[in-house]
A and B are shown apart, each in its own frame.
Chain A
Amino acid sequence: MARAVVTVPPRARRGEIVEIKTLAQHPMETGFRRTQTGELIPRDIIRTFTCSYNGTEVFRVELHPAVAANPLIAFTTVATESGALTFQWVGDNGYTVTEIAPLKVE
């Protein structure tokens, strides 16, 4: 299972700064840990997170192994027009999760 949870207010006034919280399900395996018998566990991380607002990228994060498992990314965006916020997490081994949240601007 690979899921993500995004928390976005359902509606906002035009020009209002809205707070967004995201959680993605991922172990963020660093590539530095070893098993009990000494074998290195290969790296498996989310590499990028993007947030697009009606198709325009408004926030991007590059992640490294120092980001904790099940990454939390919280940030803000200006409510410009009604539409959809698209969140995407892309990582090693073909990991891609996309979440879409509607935002009504009044």
Chain B
Amino acid sequence: MITRRQFLIVASALAAPTAAKAQLDPNLAAKRKAAFQEALRRVVGDAKVNKGRVKLTLPPLIDNGNSVPLTVAVDSPMTGADHVEAIHVLTEKNPLPDVVSVALGPRAGRATFTTRVRLADTQTVTAIARMSDGSFWSDGAEVVVTLSACLEEGLI
């Protein structure tokens, strides 16, 4: 239970101008979109990003956004002459667009990896692969994030 004292501390903190950042920013959507575009530019520069060759697998409806299984597999022979050099995963609506950047080469044997990620909201996740010939390929996956019904006291 929140005590009266705790409530007053929170209430006064929210009222103080220094804590204004904790409140919702009306331009949040636009800012996140710009951050995504910026992250994308950092990864690909001015190069064209082709659709295909990359397969991003995420469950379409997940139990909890704190830990979502994510697998990226890229169609590549993974030879010295023709392989994947890097895989990047980006999100549109997380506080930061970057999720992971992977550096790999022919010694991986297969251009695939699995991890678990946090998704703050229902959104499209993007995976981009850079090939040894300098071309970029990508795939996107839409994920529906539902929130837990009963939250705990403590962290907000």
Contact = CB atoms under 8 A, between A and B. Distances in A.
Given A74-B113, A77-B109, A78-B109, A61 B13 contact: no
B108 A67 contact: no
Nearest to A74: B114
Contacts of A65: 95-96, 118
B132 interface: no
Contacts of B2: 36
A64 B108 contact: no
B69 to A, nearest CB: 8
Contacts of B6: 36-37
A51 to B, nearest CB: 9
Contact of B108 (A34, A38, A41, A77): A77
Contacts, number: 115
Interface residues of A, number: 34
Interface string B87-119: 000010011101111111111111011111111
B153 interface: yes
A71 B109 contact: no
B10 A61 contact: no
Sorting the interface of chain B by its residue count into under 10, 10 to 19, 20 to 34 or 35 or more gives: 35 or more
A66 interface: yes
Q: Which of B19, B68, B112, B118 gathers most chain A CB within 10 Å?
A: B118
Q: Which of A33, A65, A68 gathers most chain B CB within 10 Å?
A: A68
Nearest to B78: A78
Nearest to B67: A68
Nearest to B12: A38
B22 interface: yes
Contacts of B28: none
A71 B116 contact: yes
A68 B13 CA distance: 29
B101 A62 contact: yes
Q: What 4 pairs between A and B have smallest CB-CB spacing?
A: A17-B109, A38-B13, A68-B116, A74-B114
Interface of A: 17-18, 30, 32-38, 41, 53, 56, 58-69, 71-78, 80
